[in-house]
Amino acid sequence: MALIIGLVTFVVGLLVGIIANKFMGSTSQENQELTNKLDQGEKALDEYKANVAEHLESSAKLLEQMHTTCKDAMLQMAQSTKLLQEATPDDKSAMPFFSQETQDQLAQTIKLRDASAANKKDAEITEAPLDYSGNPSGLFKDETQSVTNPKGEKKELS
C-alpha cells in the first residue's frame, strides 16, 4: 500500500507542478515581454533626448552666428552713418540739388519764358471751330452719293 500512496502522491504532485508551471510560466512570459517593451521604450527615450540635445546645440550655434553677424552689421552701419555725417555739411545751401551752371541755365529759361508770355496777347476768337464751320465737307455734304452694285448698275442715293 505504501507503493500506491507514493504513486498517487507522485501523480498529484506532478499535476500540481504542471498547473503551477502553466500559471507561473505565462506570468513569466508576460514579465519578459513587458521587460523587453520597457527596454525598447527607454532606448527610444534616450535616442529622443540625444536628438533634442543635438538640435538645441545646433540652434544655439546658429543663434550665436546670427548675433555675431547682426553685431558686425550694426558696427558697419554705425561707421557708414558716421562717414555720411562727416561728408554731409550742416548747411543745406552748401550742397545744392543742381550745380551752379544748371541753376543759371534754369534761371535764363524762366526769364525767356516770362518775356515771351508778356509779348503774347490774347487773340480774340470770333470764328467757330472747324467742326462747326459753315462750309460742310466730307460725307455730310447735302449731295447725292452714287453707289455701284455688283452688276454694274448705278443708283443715286439722296
19-75, pLDDT tens digit by residue? 887 777 767 778 888 999 999 999 999 999 999 999 999 999 999 999 999 999 999
Alpha carbon separation from 111 to 99, 107, 119 (Å, rounded): 19, 6, 13
Determine the pLDDT at residue 72: 96
Q: pTM (2 decimals)?
A: 0.37
What distance in Å separates the CA atoms of residue 59 and residue 61, rounded to the nearest whole number? 5
Determine the pLDDT at residue 134: 62
Is 80 exceeded by the pLDDT of residue 122?
Answer: no
What distance in Å separates the CA atoms of residue 68 and residue 84, rounded to the nearest whole number? 24
Per DSSP, which regions of 9-153 are E strands? Answer: 145-148
User: Alpha-carbon dihedral of residues 57, 61, 67, 68, nearest 10 degrees?
Assistant: 150
Determine the pLDDT at residue 112: 84
